Amino acid sequence: MLIVQKYGGTSVGTKERIMAVAQRAVNTKREGNSVVLVVSAMAGETDRLIRMATEMHDAPPERELDMLLSSGERVSAALTAMAIEALGQRAVSLTGRQVGIITDSMHTKAKIEHVKAERVQLALKAGMIAVIAGFQGVTGDYSDVTTLGRGGSDLTAVAVAAALKADLCEIYTDVDGVYTADPNVVKNARKLDRICYDEMLELASLGAKVLQSRSVEFASKYEVPLVVRSSFSTEQGTLVTKEDTDMENVLVSGIACDKNQVKLTALGVPDKPGIAAIIFKAVADKGIVVDMIIQNVSADGRFADISFTVPKTDSRSALEITKSVADSLGARTVIMKDDIAKISIVGVGMRTHSGSAAKMFQTLSDNNINILMIGTSEIKISCVIEGKYSELAQRELHEAFELGKTA
Amino acid sequence: MLIVQKYGGTSVGTKERIMAVAQRAVNTKREGNSVVLVVSAMAGETDRLIRMATEMHDAPPERELDMLLSSGERVSAALTAMAIEALGQRAVSLTGRQVGIITDSMHTKAKIEHVKAERVQLALKAGMIAVIAGFQGVTGDYSDVTTLGRGGSDLTAVAVAAALKADLCEIYTDVDGVYTADPNVVKNARKLDRICYDEMLELASLGAKVLQSRSVEFASKYEVPLVVRSSFSTEQGTLVTKEDTDMENVLVSGIACDKNQVKLTALGVPDKPGIAAIIFKAVADKGIVVDMIIQNVSADGRFADISFTVPKTDSRSALEITKSVADSLGARTVIMKDDIAKISIVGVGMRTHSGSAAKMFQTLSDNNINILMIGTSEIKISCVIEGKYSELAQRELHEAFELGKTA
């Protein structure tokens, strides 16, 4: 088999951890596989570099930031290659440029346009383990280094696996798979053996930090079989793969919780056509991503209350712009609520089975948890509740949907 | 003027030092000059990376070592560019590859074959300060990063200055110029205003650590005017330039002391033709560079004593190989003396004036310092003496040749 293994920052965080990664790669190779590694910067290194950069410049030029940050992965790739060689197995470290990970020139958040991987293939043919510096690419004319944004090493791994048509892309991290809920909150949360791309995508974007969503999208598009597993154990992990009929029998696969949003409400906005458009255009113009939106119209139909959620990090500027727009529209006031949690249940089975929304609302209601907002997609239902109820809600929903039981 | 400024590790060793470097570069630019910087890795960084590498592998593969070590200069180049931008001046960091510093593929000690510098010229034309990561190049096919060996950033600066036909190449370091002797040893050592390439070359290779000898050779070959000065002050520094008639009036320019050699003596070697060749071939085959050599033949002409010096770091393997060769030749024994010092006086005036050797020997003799070996070139005389006399010898020679007085 051709296997791509991606190791995150904690997996290469110390000398001993790098040696363990090298040993695992060599073992995989000696079992008769072709092995490609993708490594992140050593844990803490990227933060250290960013701290140095912000000491130099309040808003460091992004091209320079990429030059700086990409060095972290070069270091861990070179060290990992050395550790593999020390075990008697040939290895070569390769940068994003050397692999030919061609991106656009949007520094610090570049998009992959194409992966050549010629040098990877040459290395594999020569019986070597290729160790790729994750998180980085190069502009189309090979002139400047770019980086792919936080969690970009996952994307490197998936894109390289797709280019090489790898049989498997293993994402090694500090958890041993994808769980039905956060095991720190729900004691009997269960590790899933399998999950489909769409479910993983919902869970990833809903706050389960196991995989970066862009890499799941990429894996889904090119049908790269992903395995999420721990670099600290030999546990099997969770396979992220194409949806199959088995999966549809499971109503809900998992529960996610996102506590990194705030809720803004513009009260008493005169209810005229185009009001919502004006508010959300102003917010979008500031580069702020709005997640959930609800609008109530007053009994007499003259005023509306508009609520929406934005990431906590954008709360201040979102409040500011919303206030100024609301003022100009003659709204009564704008209030912000920051202690909220968005709880979501996810499962492809919802496509074909009804009743899960009702069960979710009932469960919350049975526990006197007030629902502030509701949002749905084909395979998920999200409820915004008060933050203090988030742990209780996760536990009760986990119980209600019987997620602790093996399917 | 087009000025290349090179800053060593201590000059970019902290946030504050990098900001000071940025300020100096911006000042130089605002005086109407075009400015190119070459920076080393932050002080201690290269050692830190080497330590990590040796923890991974007893003898890290050199290609991987270059991948690892070159990251240090990328970091300082990017940070310096950010600091310059923070001062309102546009800047761009460039790696060895981006500059087009083409080298052979001898990893960890690559030789520069060609410098393109197209992107540097484009940056200068756009009014930017180019900040080049020192110490690194790229192989001819642009595939792999190489490094130029310790002190390689000096070489980067000189090579780039030559390629750009710069008016001046300033080497900023932690000393404020080239001195007539080591100021830590000789109190009235005097900073030289000017020195010629040949003298600098002798001083550099004789243990004055101000400039790396390869970079002086390169500067001499392409007649790049060098200035050695301190990044911690605004003192004028020392100009290293072409020899002129003024310089010939000065008999001796400076005194150097090298305590990093050991002396090996093969006693009682049967004196037959080719004996020396056998010994030195064996030593050279181990990659050990022999510096001084003397050979005495016994009164009856049947035996010879052969003495030579090698770097302290190679003493063990040099002793081993010499013993084994001496044994096979029927020599009596091999002895090693490691507490020695090589004291040298250097000056282009020696070409046209006689008597400096006699004065040197007399001065040492007057102080009861025994001379163990003597070596000469056109512009220098070196004496190996016992290590314990090295400070005394430097002070007395400095006095005898009146180096403390302004010429």
**Residue B310 has what pLDDT?**
94
Please judge whether A82 and B74 are an interchain contact, meaning their C-beta atoms are less than 8 angstroms apart.
no
Q: Hey, are the CB atoms on B61 and A82 less than 8 Å from each other? A: yes
Q: For chain B, how many structural domains are there in total?
A: 1
- pLDDT of the residue at A63: 97
CATH code, B36: 3.40.1160.10
* Residue B118 confidence (pLDDT) above 80: yes
Token pair of B12 as six digits = 């970019």
Residue A62, class by beta-carbon neighbours within 10 Å (0-12 exposed, 13-18 middle, 19+ buried)? middle
Could you tell me if B292 and B373 are in contact, meaning their C-beta atoms sit under 8 angstroms apart? Answer: yes
CA dist A344 and A375 (Å) reads: 9
A229 falls within a domain: no
Q: Domain end: A315, A336, A357, which one? A: A336
Question: Are the CB atoms for B68 and B49 separated by under 8 Å?
Answer: yes
pLDDT (tens digit per residue) in A177-204 = 999 998 889 999 999 999 999 999 888 7
Per the structure, the complete domain to which residue A76 belongs is given by 2-174
By the 8 A CB rule, do A66 and A32 touch? Answer: no
Taking the C-alpha atoms of residue B167 and residue B174, their distance in angstroms, rounded to an integer, is 23
Residue A317 is predicted with a pLDDT of 92
Residue where a domain terminates, one of A174, A197, A212: A174
Reported as a single tens digit per residue, the pLDDT across B366-376 is 999 999 999 88
Range B5-16 average pLDDT? 95
Q: Which residues of chain B make contact with A52, given a CB cutoff of 8 A?
A: 15, 75, 79
Burial of A219 (0-12, 13-18, 19+ CB in 10 A): buried
- Measured between beta carbons, the chain A residues lying within 8 angstroms of B85 are 57, 60-61, 64
Residue of B nearest to A46 (CA): B75
- Note whether residue A150 is domain-resident: yes
A87 lies within 8 A of chain B by CB:
no
Calculate mean pLDDT across residues A50-79: 96
pLDDT cut 70: percent of chain B above it? 98
pLDDT per residue over A138-176, tens digit each? Answer: 999 999 999 998 789 999 999 999 999 999 999 998 888
pLDDT at B207: 57
Q: Is residue B340 part of a domain?
A: no
Q: What are phi and psi of A296, to 5 degrees?
A: -110, 140
Contact A52 B79 (CB under 8 A): yes
Is the Cβ of B247 closer than 8 Å to some Cβ of chain A? no
Q: Are residues A150 and A284 in the same domain?
A: no
Comparing CA positions, the residue from B9, B91, B95 lying closest to residue A67 is: B95
Taking contacts as CB-CB distances below 8 angstroms, the residues of chain B near A92 are 63-64
Overall average pLDDT of the A94-122 stretch: 96
* pLDDT classification of A205: cutoffs 50, 70, 90: low
Q: What are phi and psi of A71, to 5 degrees?
A: -70, -30
> Does the pLDDT value for residue B189 go beyond 80?
yes
- pLDDT tens for each residue of B192-209: 999 999 999 888 766 566
CATH of the domain at A302: 3.30.2130.10
pLDDT digits (tens, 9 = 90+) for A237-265: 999 999 887 776 778 899 999 999 999 99
Tell me the pLDDT of chain B averaged across its residues.
92
For residues A25 and A169, membership in a common domain is answered with yes
User: What pLDDT, on a 0 to 100 scale, did the predictor assign at position A208?
Assistant: 60
pTM above 0.90, yes or no: no
Tens of pLDDT along A289-311? 898 888 887 777 788 889 999 99
Residue pLDDT, tens place only, B143-156: 999 999 878 999 99
DSSP class per residue in B390-407: HHHHHHHHHHHTTTTS--
Query: Is pLDDT at A391 greater than 80 in this prediction?
Result: yes
The token pair at A272 is 């005229």
What is the C-alpha to C-alpha distance for residues B150 and B213, in angstroms, rounded to an integer?
11
Chain A within 8 Å of B25 (Cβ-Cβ)?
no
A118: in domain:
yes
C-beta of residue B98 within 8 angstroms of C-beta of residue B80: no
Residues A299 and A150 both lie in one domain: no
pLDDT band at B296 (very low <50, low <70, confident <90, very high): confident
Residue A210 has pLDDT above 80, yes or no: no
Residue A67 · residue A146 · CB < 8 Å: no
Give me Rg for the CA atoms of chain A.
Answer: 23
- Would you say residue B127 lies in a domain? yes
- Domain end (from A174, A208, A230): A174
Task: Answer yes or no: do A280 and A162 share one domain.
Answer: no
Q: Is the dihedral of CA B234, B166, B129, A65 positive or negative?
A: negative
Whether pLDDT at B407 is above 60:
no
DSSP structural state of residue B105: S
Judgement on whether residues A125 and A18 belong to the same structural domain of the protein: yes
How much of chain B exceeds pLDDT 90, in percent?
75
**B89–chain A Cβ distance below 8 A for any pair:** no
CA separation for the pair A342, A373 (Å, rounded): 9
Check if B52 contacts A (Cβ < 8 Å): yes
Parallel, antiparallel, or unpaired for β A129-133 and A91-94? parallel
Residue A283, pLDDT > 70, answer: yes
Report if residue B346 sits inside a domain: no
C-alpha–C-alpha distance, residues B51 and B44, integer Å: 11
- What band does A272 get if pLDDT is binned at 50, 70 and 90? confident
Work out the mean pLDDT of chain A and round it to a whole number. 92
pLDDT of residue B146: 97
Task: Establish if B35 belongs to a structural domain.
Answer: yes
Q: Considering the domain boundaries, does residue A19 fall inside one?
A: yes
Contact A82 B95 (CB under 8 A): no
Per-residue confidence (pLDDT) for residue B131, from 0 to 100? 98
